[in-house]
Amino acid sequence: MIDLSGKSAVVTGGSRGIGRAIALRLAGQGADVAFSYRGNEAAANETQAAIEALGRKALAVQGDVSDPEEAESVIKAALEAFDKVDILVNNAGITRDDLIMRMSLEDWRSVLETNLFGAFYCIKAVARPMLKAKGGRIINITSVSGQAGQMGQANYSSAKAGLIGLTKATARELASRGITCNAVAPGFVLTELTKDLAQEWQDRITEQTPLGRFGTPEEIANAVAFLASDEASYITGQILGVDGGLVMM
């Protein structure tokens, strides 16, 4: 059984969807959890209460990781609350879909700044404390869109592909101090973002997925919990697809 007792974690974008499932899974395995959220205070309060109901310490930090100072403040808040950060999960992400010829520069920039730059800012903020501690786990949430590309998602696909490169570079830079960095690449998962997809699209996705269904946030969280654990101590620089077989590298 995965045991994260005595560990402390930061999950960015942890109030809803996949981020919430990850925060609850880490707490369920024994970790204290700080998570960032951008604006939905009600969802953040609910998630904080759910973590505390599992008997763990919880800290909700309002902050937009696309801003380097706010990203650093999220990590600082966790360090002040828990004295250390053993696990960082870079989950915060947004979508602004459109075809390239119609995509605004603002939508291009905002997705890159949140999904890729935000992860870099958080890794930068947590690197020194982890190096001093001579250990840590960094897990980035990328996507099948970053592996295979997705029409209408040039910004999102680029950001998620960039996360793969960032994962591998981070893994090489920090490995000598026992810090691992891996990524989880979800396929299509049933969340608030995808539940409103037209039935035609849902049918097409399930047809293309060998396992014939959408994934769940909990299935993504299971992979993150494994990569955060001692059982994954010899795994670094890897991209773990949790996608029902949609992309086979």
So which residues are the catalytic ones?
156
Give the DSSP H or E segment for 45: helix 41-53
C-beta of residue 198 within 8 angstroms of C-beta of residue 224: no
Q: CB atoms < 10 A from the CB of 216, how many?
A: 16
C-beta of residue 65 within 8 angstroms of C-beta of residue 71: yes
Separation of alpha carbons 157 and 143, rounded Å: 8
Cα separations in angstroms, 84 against 25, 75, 132: 19, 9, 10
Q: Which residues touch 49 (CB under 8 Å, ≥6 apart)? A: 58
Cα separations in angstroms, 34 against 50, 98, 133, 153: 13, 33, 18, 30
Q: Which of 133, 159, 132, 138 is nearest to 147 (CA)?
A: 159
C-beta of residue 202 within 8 angstroms of C-beta of residue 214: yes
Give the DSSP H or E segment for 180: strand 179-186
Q: Hey, CA dihedral for 172, 180, 21, 188, is it positive or negative?
A: positive
